[in-house]
A and B are shown apart, each in its own frame.
Chain A
Amino acid sequence: MAEVDFEKLVEEFYMPLYRFALSLSRNESDAFDFTQQTFYAWAAKGHQLRDTSKVKTWLFTTLYREFLAKKRRDERFVDVEEDVVFAEPPQISPSVINEIDATIVQEALHRLDERYRAPLTLFYMEEHSYREIAEILSLPLGTVMSRISRGKAELRRQLSDLAAEESRKILPLKGDAR
């Protein structure tokens, strides 16, 4: 395949890759390492990829595999298949979300189980089709859809909880106390 300029590649993909890594690892330092390892892997093996249209999927797949490899080293990782279920997510008003900042949305995402976190992050990035998400995560298409559906429902519950926690943090001014 044609040579892909390394710096241009980093320029184009470092932000979504880092954000995906951050959502998986929930840790800035690990997120950096996963992103860096992904680009290292590209520098070493990227030339083997024959189809340039697959570069983005290749990078995300590689990053996810790096994450899984570390996870398997850190703990015994058991991935079980589940039934395909599409659930209507609980209602939450866009105005509530508008009042919440990026940190809280990220915190809510980080509270989810990894099996939902990974597909949901790729879903919200809107950079990948469902087939690409399935390829990146090495999961059947139906499982991806099901996990996104469940993940969205769980994310909204977490956002509601966090919004409630935030509102409890707002204390009355001393002058108001009687």
Chain B
Amino acid sequence: MKEDAFLRGILSIHRGIDSESDDPCFAEAREKAESDPILGQWWAQEKELDRVIGSKLASVHLPAGLKARLISRPTLPARPRPAWTRAALLAAACLVALAVLFGSWRGPFQPAVSLADYRDEMVGFIKVDPNLEMKSPDLAQVTDWLQKNRAPSRLNLPKNLQGLEPIGCRTLRFRGRDVALICFKRKEGSLLHLFVIDRAALPEMAKSSGPEISREGNWMAAGWGDGDEFYLITVQGDRQAIEAYLSDT
């Protein structure tokens, strides 16, 4: 009886996964479970119970924009590359150049991203008030800071948007690209978030000109391309609320 309790104790922590298959401690208990139907059934129930508990824990809610926050780390100093790495990079660059020359290169290394991917990730990020890396009510200071931090800083905004006072900014990363986030104070007291990214990051928007407006919950988003930049603004409210910032009148 005592041995049975010990066996059940061992089996209760044996998940039956590959990494445990060779463990002699588990192997002996497993053999017993395979030859004893009652013990075998008990172990099967245990594993089912663990699977259910594990799946509940895996479905624990993650904060909105968690990934984008983690990726938006400060820029770290570059490590010196050894000479052989430089040579390898040069060789790789030559290969890419040749591939382009002979038309065999199929495009960017990463799969194309859609505006929806970008918009969802950015809206997810600001659902929790973002920490700003730089605070200033002066837009020139804000764009200066962005430029120094190698984020998009050239702004060509509709007049109604230019009329808003900024409160600060920060940088983010999206699929390997720098994104500038500038937060503006709206008259009603809530915030307008402006994201600016290199237009090349969103190839599907390369030829689009007019703003594309969409809703996500109680957030409205509008995205448009202008020159080399792609702009995305988000506000809480209805379509009218966001359209007010898109016009020049």
Contact = CB atoms under 8 A, between A and B. Distances in A.
Interface in A67-82: none
A83 interface: no
Contact of B8 (A10, A35, A88, A128): A88
Contacts of A61: none
Interface string A47-79: 100000000000000000000000000000000
Contact of B54 (A22, A124, A130): A124
Contacts of A101: 56
A140 interface: no
The 10 closest A-B pairs by CB, nearest first: A86-B9, A129-B19, A88-B8, A105-B56, A124-B54, A102-B56, A102-B59, A97-B52, A148-B13, A43-B76
A32 B12 contact: no
Nearest to A93: B49
Contacts of A92: 49
A109 interface: yes
B73 A47 contact: no
Contacts of A18: 62, 66
Interface string B91-106: 0000000000000000
B175 interface: yes
A123 B76 CA distance: 34
Contact of A39 (B17, B50, B70): B70
B116 interface: no
Contacts, number: 105
Contacts of B66: 14, 18, 32, 35
Given A18-B66, A149-B9, A47 B79 contact: yes
A139 interface: no
B63 A32 contact: yes
Interface of B: 5-6, 8-10, 12-13, 15, 17, 19-20, 23, 45-46, 48-50, 52-54, 56-63, 66-67, 69-71, 73, 76, 79, 173, 175-176
B70 A124 contact: no
Interface residues of A, number: 50
B60 A123 contact: no
Interface of A: 6-7, 10-11, 14-15, 18-19, 22-23, 28, 32, 35-36, 39-40, 43-44, 47, 85-89, 92, 94, 97-98, 100-103, 105-106, 109, 121, 123-126, 128-132, 145, 148-149, 152, 155
Given A88-B9, A131-B19, 15 more contacts: A7-B71, A32-B69, A39-B73, A44-B76, A94-B52, A100-B56, A105-B53, A105-B57, A125-B54, A125-B57, A125-B58, A130-B19, A130-B20, A148-B13, A149-B13
Contact of B20 (A36, A129, A149): A129
